[in-house]
Amino acid sequence: MNHPPTGPSGSPPGTGPGPSPRPHGLSGEGTPSGSIARSVAQERRPSPASSQDARRYVNLWTEKEALNGERTSAFVLILKTRGCYWADLKGCTMCGYARDTLGRSATEAEIAEQVERALLEYHDEPYVKVFSSGSFFDPREVPVASRHALASAFRGRARRLLVETLPEFVDQANVGALRESFGGEVEVALGLESAQEEVLRRAVNKNSPPSSYFDAAGRVHQGGGQAKAYLLLKPPYLTEREAIEDTVKSVGIASQHFDTLSINPVHLQGGTVVEHLYRRGLYRPPWIWSLVETLVRSSEVRREGTRLVSFPTSGGNARGVHNCLTCDRGLLEAIEEASLSQDFRPLRSLPSCRCRTQWEWEQGLESLGPDAN
């Protein structure tokens, strides 16, 4: 899920365009401990909100998209709900969206008013994306009646409705029922992050293995929906090279199960294990050069017909995917164009920059281990 960043914009040493810190990798020390994950989970969870606060959505915006090969605009709405239950326990290492939640479940009336306010800003964009900072199909976040009222509100106005959820809340019946309420295409997004179980468990701290996400994608298809997976580029504890290889391998595997794959480079969110490491000089968000290589190679290994995209959040600044901060804009525009057109060949011949040499040099140092300096 690509929310705008909510954390501070400061940049500690080692995270700008200079040499990046080198993690130990999954084979070494420094993998996430339960105590750190629990600690940040407790710190980021807000106190229960008032009814007045619960009647306002978190955010909304429009963004460029493509729908069945046609370029269009998407309307993105972030509902304010209780958020992800897993974030209450430990949460994923990179996710700080719990800060945007109510600290309690929302009532049907509160969700209805959020949707009503959002509709005042809706201008018949054909693609609608609705997020709840967790799982749309978890009734503790979005009551069943609220689900269908929201879908009905966009019926006849939008052509596709996207919602995000954890795999354990997906079944054929609830996907089919949402399609019936909406009357158009339903797309269900799942935060797979990696198709490799060790990365998912130790670096991302997910509570379900990749197979759970693949099975959920099957249930989405059985319900008549389309399945989308988010893949994370450079979770903590992976080197830059390990991160590229993990995502490319994950694309090859996940494309057998999903209709669309979105590669999301890590961006720093407040109240996360990633930010905990960043502030100690132990993490740098991925390079744009890494994203370029990942997309080029992934476009070659994906199953034919699987859509591949990347629309990075916070791209081109120190808390998101970045290079030297001078060549970033042009590269990010090329990545956006490739995602919209599905033609990744131009990414092979992008103008170079002196920082590319530094990117290559740092990967060489990473291969020597954490004591190379």
The rounded mean pLDDT for the chain is 90
Q: Hey, what are 324's tokens?
A: 């030297």
7 located within any domain: no
102 located within any domain: yes
**Pair type for strands 307-309 and 260-265:** parallel
DSSP assignments along 135-148, one per residue = -TT-TTTS-HHHHH
Of 247, 190, 191, 199, the C-alpha closest to 217 is 190
The pLDDT score that the predictor gives to residue 8 is: 34
Give me the sign of the Cα torsion angle 191, 196, 197, 203.
negative
What are the Cα distances from residue 33, in Å, to 165, 201, 291? Answer: 25, 12, 28
The pLDDT score that the predictor gives to residue 99 is: 83
* Rounded CA separation 172/88 (Å): 27
* Rounded CA separation 296/319 (Å): 24
20 located within any domain: no
Name residue, tokens 């290589």. Answer: 293
Other CB atoms within 10 Å distance of the CB of residue 29: 9
162 located within any domain: yes
Based on the number of CB atoms within 10 Å of its own CB, is 305 exposed (0-12), middle (13-18) or buried (19 or more)?
exposed
* DSSP tally for the chain: helices H, then strands E: 12, 8
pTM: 0.89
117 located within any domain: yes
371 located within any domain: no
The pLDDT score that the predictor gives to residue 30 is: 46
CATH number of the CATH domain containing 73: 3.20.20.70
The pLDDT score that the predictor gives to residue 98 is: 82
- The SS3 call for residue 115 is helix
The pLDDT score that the predictor gives to residue 35 is: 64
* Rounded CA separation 205/213 (Å): 15
- The whole domain housing 280 covers 34-366
The pLDDT score that the predictor gives to residue 332 is: 98
Query: What does pLDDT average to in each consecutive run of 10 residues of the chain (373 residues)?
Result: 43 41 49 62 73 91 97 97 88 88 92 98 98 96 98 98 98 98 98 97 94 98 98 97 98 98 96 93 97 98 98 96 97 98 98 96 80 51
* Rounded CA separation 179/17 (Å): 46
The fraction of the chain above a pLDDT of 70, given in percent, is: 87
* Rounded CA separation 76/60 (Å): 5
Phi, psi of 14 (to 5 degrees): 90, 5
Q: Hey, what are 319's tokens?
A: 């808390």
The pLDDT score that the predictor gives to residue 370 is: 55
What are the Cα distances from residue 248, in Å, to 203, 209, 241, 284, 291? Answer: 16, 18, 11, 20, 10
Name residue, tokens 């976040």. Answer: 141
* Rounded CA separation 180/225 (Å): 11
**What is the DSSP secondary structure assignment for residue 59, as one 8-state letter?**
E
227 located within any domain: yes
Sheet of 160-164: strands edge to edge?
59-67, 70-78, 127-131, 160-164, 185-193, 226-233, 260-265, 307-309
**Beta bridge pairs of residue 308:** 261
| Number of structural domains found in the chain | 1
**Pair type for strands 127-131 and 226-233:** unpaired
Of 238, 236, 232, 265, the C-alpha closest to 250 is 232
* Rounded CA separation 63/77 (Å): 11
The pLDDT score that the predictor gives to residue 50 is: 84
> Dihedral of the CA atoms 372, 238, 275, 167 (nearest 10)?
-170
* Rounded CA separation 247/264 (Å): 10
HEC secondary structure over 185-215: EEEEEEEEECCCHHHHHHHHCCCCCHHHHHH
Question: Contact 118/77 with Cβ under 8 angstroms?
Answer: yes
1 located within any domain: no
The pLDDT score that the predictor gives to residue 47 is: 76
